[in-house]
Structure 1
Amino acid sequence: MGWAVARFDFSWGDAEYHQETLENLKAAIKSTKKLCAVMLDTVGPELQVVNKSEKAITLKADDKVILTPNQGQEATSEVLPINFAGLSKAVKQGDTIFIGQYLFTGSETTSVWLEVDEVKSEDVVCVIKNSATLAGSLFTLHASQIHIDLPTLSNEDKQAIMTWGVQNKIDFISLSYTRHAEDVREAREFLSKLGDLSQTQIFAKIENVEGLTHFDEILQEADGIILSRGNLGIDLPPEKVFLFQKSAVYKCNMAGKPAVVTRVVDSMTDNLRPTRAEATDVANAVLDGCDAILLGAETLRGLYPIETISTIGKICAEAEKVSNQDQYFKKTVKYVGEPMSHLESIASSAVRAAIKVKATVIICFTSSGRAARLIAKYRPTMPVLSVVIPRLKTNQLKWSFTGAFEARQSLIVRGLFPLLADPRHPAESTNATNESVLKVALDHGKASGVIKSHDRVVVCQKVGDASVVKIIELED
């Protein structure tokens, strides 16, 4: 358990700032010899209050405040300039608007609820529902259950992907405010035109009711889902959030696509320990079946980033120990039904064999990573070592090996541990080199303490056109 994917949130900071952070990450990867993937988080149609003076703004309950698209005005307790001219057309009297810093701390003293009182031309007059002090240069604005007529992938987002994203060959795009399957299709089409990012995976970030309404179609198109509970908790009544989380994670599990949950230990931004409710929440997310936990303010500006990751890692490990994976396996097999696809059949057979012989680890040879992800979909009780076999490809100008993308992208999948094979020994060529790569994988398992003498190991690999599942019993 630990840091597996680094998310670079382009809502904050410029490309130079993020590049400096990425260079630090590369240095850490080199010194620790641990893989870490890179995710670019788009801004999307995010509404913001612009506070150029950066002076703290105090708002008092029952007073009125005007939201105006005139960004030339200074932000005060009477007027708040916003970056969207269409708000007056989107809202009506009685609608709820939320303004807060760092994607909603949830604190009633640093975030404010507003109720739309009237619309005057392009201005929106609101009644303040709670006293609060807003501090900083930007505050996020969220209009509850209101359709915002802005593109999901903005021109600024496209520019960031074409420059910073291409330059750094990013592994994932986190598509903020995904509302329709078409949003994912458009992003995929845009990436396909950028040769270096044709393999980049798209994770749809579900942040409002509109995204939840079209969840099934979005899931079909996306490579994974991020449930942005900060925003969902504002768009939905609080008592409904858990229901949508459980339903969405279950659907991701059955589709074999990673589910990521956000906003879990907000209190650790300023405190060394999480609350009891937060600790339970993390454990329940694991028991629900989520693949990864995404941290925000806790590691962006929090006082205890290392302790936060360590604490969450321990909670996740404890929850995984008591997960009923045998029941999960049976449930998944039943859900998939018959006839199974060829790959699905091989993956479930490998897991069934590993459970029956009490194998210590499953080793899967893969080039695209799909076979290993399918094995992980059945949540075996033992770790899955995904040995990614590099493939040689050419763009008519030069030859290059693929494999690094697929290895890093495995990091976000629960129970999957990638290992990149040596490209000088392509395992698909002969059985002899197949065996040598298997030895490397077994040695890696022994060195990391996963495999011991007399353990049984299940190996899933392709031999020619056939897929083979075999059981190995290790000698001394």
Structure 2
Amino acid sequence: MHSHHLLLEEPIRMASILEPSKPSFFPAMTKIVGTLGPKSRSVEIISSCLNAGMSVARFDFSWGDAAFHQETLENLKVAIKRTKKLCAVMLDTIGPELQVLNKTERPISLDAETLVTLTPNQEIEATSNLLPINFSGLSKAVKTGDTIFIGQYLFTGSETTSVWLEVNEVKGEDVVCLVKNSATLSGSLFTLHISQIRIELPTLTDKDKEVISTWGVHNSIDFLSLSYTRHAEDIRHAREHLSKLGDLNQTRIFAKIDNFEGLTHFDEILQEADGIILSRGNLGIDLPPEKVFLFQKAAVYKCNMAGKPVVITRVVDSMTDNLRPTRAEATDVANAVLDGCDAILLGAETLRGLYPVETISIVGRICAESEKVFNQDSFFKNTVKYVGEPMSHMESIASSAVLKFLGLIWVFLSCLYLLLTLSKKTGVSLFS
């Protein structure tokens, strides 16, 4: 990992911290990706999300059918026309995601120190001691003592809505587990994640290909979020599939890093991908808690130096049910921006959260406040030092253009300041 300074402008006047945040004419430069779902699919809510600062709408195909997402997208189009705000469309693939199926949708209570069996028989009903899953190879992938996590949408770490299991015994295709914490699983679908175990399933599944070829082509998607990217070959395979479709030649592929395998091959994935999404929900399971920040900082820095956008997920989980983020979450968002993160992805907070609009608004305000103290000069010097001399022709032109533009703005503001000062002293209004 490359060492680098925290890109914080100094000094910060303590008095300015106590001043109320001023509404800015320009939105935060850090983009906000909002996942649209049950709580955020009406024209009214989507319009409010756009006005609050959402600039990319994510459609997560881990749940819901194409018709459901199409209806949401049609509402997005109406909201874009109504608000006159631009918004890109991101399709998020299912990938090799393991799921527990709960057809009845009745809440399932699991008690600590009891046994529960995971079975590939999807015909049976989910109960407190028997959970059907969508993968027949689980018994071959795990061994006694392995850790399995289950939670709605993604494992949250919350003791009441997520559960962690320890493999007790493998019986044929069934896996018997010991429940380690009491929890209630509610909803029709739960994600299952095995810590540091490779799942022998393709990254781009047949179902993903079908969705991209139909829904993706029909809606000319701007971004493809490739879930569980594990190798550079996964990106090349996805790009090859897009190129065959013709209409999606301009679609950008973002590699979603979910597990230790993607982490291990990060450098080669970064070379192939158009951008990176750090899926901290799953990464937080594969890595010890004290290691997550190290990977995040290293990955963000590498993306910055490669000139490729990097997106952080799972930032304000508590806002799924609460109107305000915790202090730690607010600081987490700010530090991600100061480290050079380009976008924040909101998942459950907007998909099924109670306050999707407020979440986007608050995250946007934190990003804007962080950008005010971001040390652009230090960042530029670090980048030039990393890239080395001489710069490429295109890089040199772009850099010169930005510096000249900033110089003109500085001259304009200086002149305006002088004129205002003279106006005050002479008592002659500039606009009279």
2:124 equivalent in structure 1? 73
Is 1:186 aligned with 2:245? no
Change (3 A) 1:210 1:452: same
Taking the aligned partners of 1:111 and 1:103, their CA distance within structure 2 comes to: 9
TM-score, reference length from structure 2: 0.82
Mapped contact 1:333–1:348 kept (Cα < 8 A): no
Is 1:52 aligned with 2:103? yes
1:331 equivalent in structure 2? 382
Task: For structure 1, list consecutive stretches of 5 or more residues without a partner in the other structure.
Answer: 362-450, 456-475
Task: For structure 2, list consecutive stretches of 5 or more residues without a partner in the other structure.
Answer: 1-26, 28-52, 417-430
Taking the aligned partners of 1:260 and 1:8, their CA distance within structure 2 comes to: 16
Taking the aligned partners of 1:225 and 1:76, their CA distance within structure 2 comes to: 38
Is 1:142 aligned with 2:193? yes
Equivalence map 1:283-362=2 (5 Å): 283-355=334-406, 357=407, 359=409
Taking the aligned partners of 2:225 and 2:380, their CA distance within structure 1 comes to: 29
Taking the aligned partners of 1:175 and 1:206, their CA distance within structure 2 comes to: 9
Equivalence map 1:159-308=2 (5 Å): 159-308=210-359
Taking the aligned partners of 1:116 and 1:139, their CA distance within structure 2 comes to: 18
1:9 to 43, 47, 60: 60
Q: Which runs of 4+ in 1 moved over 4 A?
A: 451-455
Change (3 A) 1:243 1:453: closer
* Cα drift, residue 71 of structure 1: 1.0
Taking the aligned partners of 1:354 and 1:329, their CA distance within structure 2 comes to: 15
* Cα drift, residue 104 of structure 1: 2.0
Aligned amino acid, residue 122 of structure 1? E
Q: Which has the higher strand share?
A: 1
2:90 equivalent in structure 1? 39
* Cα drift, residue 52 of structure 1: 1.3
TM-score, reference length from structure 1: 0.75
1:390 equivalent in structure 2? none
Aligned amino acid, residue 166 of structure 1? V
| Per-residue CA distance 1:257-306 (angstroms, 9 max, x = gap) | 10000011111111111110110011011011000000011111111111
Aligned length: 366
1:89 equivalent in structure 2? 140
Taking the aligned partners of 1:106 and 1:161, their CA distance within structure 2 comes to: 32
Mapped contact 1:206–1:225 kept (Cα < 8 A): yes
Aligned amino acid, residue 324 of structure 1? N
2:47 equivalent in structure 1? none
| Per-residue CA distance 1:124-166 (angstroms, 9 max, x = gap) | 1111100111111111000010000000011111111111100
Change (3 A) 1:258 1:62: same
| Per-residue CA distance 1:386-423 (angstroms, 9 max, x = gap) | xxxxxxxxxxxxxxxxxxxxxxxxxxxxxxxxxxxxxx
* Cα drift, residue 251 of structure 1: 0.5
2:422 equivalent in structure 1? none
| Per-residue CA distance 1:327-383 (angstroms, 9 max, x = gap) | 00000001000232111121222234345x26369xxxxxxxxxxxxxxxxxxxxxx
Taking the aligned partners of 2:124 and 2:201, their CA distance within structure 1 comes to: 23
1:109 equivalent in structure 2? 160
Aligned amino acid, residue 346 of structure 1? I
Taking the aligned partners of 1:257 and 1:85, their CA distance within structure 2 comes to: 37
1:122 to 165, 170, 173: 173
Share of identical aligned residues, percent? 80
Taking the aligned partners of 2:410 and 2:363, their CA distance within structure 1 comes to: 25
Aligned amino acid, residue 145 of structure 2? G
